[in-house]
Amino acid sequence: MRTERALNFNPGPAALPLPVLEQARDELLNFKGEGLSILEISHRSRAFESLVLETEKLMKEIMRIPPGYRALFLQGGASLQFSLIPMNFLPAGETADYIVTGSFAEKACKDAGQVGQVHLAANTKGQGHRRIPRQEELHFSPSPAYVHLTTNNTVYGTQWHYTPTTPGSPLVADMSSDILSRPLDVSAYAFIYAGAQKNMGPAGVTAVIISEEMLDRVPQSLPSMLRYDLHAKNNSLYNTPPSFGVYIMNLVLKWAAENGGLSRLEEVNRKKAALIYKVLDEYPDFYRGHAEKDSRSLMNVTFRLPSEELEGLFIQEAGKWNMTGLKGHRSVGGIRASIYNAMPEKGCRTLADFMEDFYARKG
């Protein structure tokens, strides 16, 4: 049993900023003088409606979203978007291109294939998803309805460090595990989505950033809950939204702004990741990084040790250093340190120190 808060390296749901949790605790019984908890308030109340509108505004400000886009707060997770995207944007007779760089990209591609025709513009599976393809390795179909990519591969620990050029097609991106981690040219994308539970809030709310052009393409024949245009028209209040999740996301966005915005967060994230990658580079025969260097993720650091036995011991001893959530994804094994925005630099330093100590004893 722990009496103090642990250093949380979980991949998602993941660490939230402590000031956010503290404010949520302090306001839990009485939200903004309503005399009710945020958990009890009507989603049709003025207080809640202004919370949703404010959250959209905050998101636009912090991410510097240009005019002509909407930010929506939906349910169903990033995984539901895997099928909603082709249902909304892949008409019969057209092809959507997918760049498969990891397991979530693969799932997105598979679901799109259930809806319509897909083309693999690239697939790094044969190379163990260790790297992001270069622009010249992307082979698009003649005129894709859209091109889909996953900007950070949570399971494998790789991340795109450039925005690919498409044959004039809208770019659609799953940013579940790196949204808000660095500045972004949103105008390069027509559609961005992210489950909140990695870098932006709790499980249960999914953010969607969608251009007006994409909203115009939604087929009116779709059932209501599947239509992005209806959600936009109703300011994410078509039905009962994930109200607590929107509230926490609102607090996380304010926290991000107070902490210097995305440029500053990126600076800190680079510093944090460098502390851990430095140890991998010092002892490459012991700590075997999964990602190739130029594809390394600033959010999920993945590596193996020489044996599963050592990996088990590593995780067990890390627990004694008050660290948790370091076990790699079941499909890759090994160790994964998820170091999203809310992981303080101190946590990454502790992990790096522990890795040095562990190597000195077991290497």
Residues engaged in binding ligand PLP (CB under 6 A): 12, 77-79, 104, 150, 154, 174, 176-177, 195, 198
Alpha helices in the chain (DSSP H): 18-27, 46-62, 77-89, 103-115, 212-216, 228-233, 243-258, 261-282, 308-320, 345-362
Residue 355 Cβ vs ligand PLP, minimum distance, rounded to whole Å: 24
> Considering the complex, what minimum distance in angstroms separates the CB of residue 55 from ligand PLP?
18
Q: Which is nearer to ligand PLP, 12 or 17 (CB)?
A: 12
Least distance from ligand PLP to the Cβ atom of residue 218, Å: 21
Q: What is the closest distance, in whole angstroms, from the C-beta atom of residue 212 to ligand PLP in the complex? A: 25
The CA dihedral of 246, 247, 248, 250, to the nearest 10 degrees, is 80
Question: Is the Cβ of residue 83 or residue 141 nearer to ligand PLP in the bound state?
Answer: 83
Which CB, 77 or 344, lies closer to ligand PLP?
77
Minimum distance from CB of 203 to ligand PLP (Å)?
Answer: 7
| Residue number with CB closer to ligand PLP (105 or 251) | 105
Of 49, 104, 50, 60, nearest to 82 (Cα)?
Answer: 104
Q: Which is nearer to ligand PLP, 78 or 209 (CB)?
A: 78
- Residue 276 in contact with residue 301, Cβ under 8 Å? yes
**CB of residue 113 vs ligand PLP: minimum separation in angstroms?**
17
| Angstrom distance (rounded) from CA 305 to CA 287 | 5
Least distance between ligand PLP and beta carbon 27 (Å): 25
CB 157 within 8 A of CB 177: no
CA distance 352 to 345: 11
Residue 206's DSSP bridge partners are: 74, 195
Residue number with CB closer to ligand PLP (195 or 334): 195
Residue type, 92: A
Hey, what amino acid is at 159?
Answer: Q
User: Which string of DSSP letters, residue by residue, matches 130-178?
Assistant: -SPPPGGG----SS-S-EEEESEETTTTEE--SPPP-SSPPEEEE-TTT
Looking at the Cβ atoms of 314 and 334, the one nearer to ligand PLP is 334
Minimum CB separation from ligand PLP for residue 133, in Å?
A: 17
Q: Which is nearer to ligand PLP, 11 or 354 (CB)?
A: 11
DSSP class of 191? E
Q: How far apart are CA 67 and CA 252, in angstroms?
A: 23
Contact 65, 56 (CB under 8 A): no
For 181, 260, 298, 319, 345, the CA distances from 265, given in Å and listed in that order, are 6, 7, 11, 27, 11
Which CB, 12 or 334, lies closer to ligand PLP?
A: 12
Closest separation between CB of residue 356 and ligand PLP, Å? 29
CB proximity list for 51: less than 8 A, separation 6 or greater: 246, 247, 250
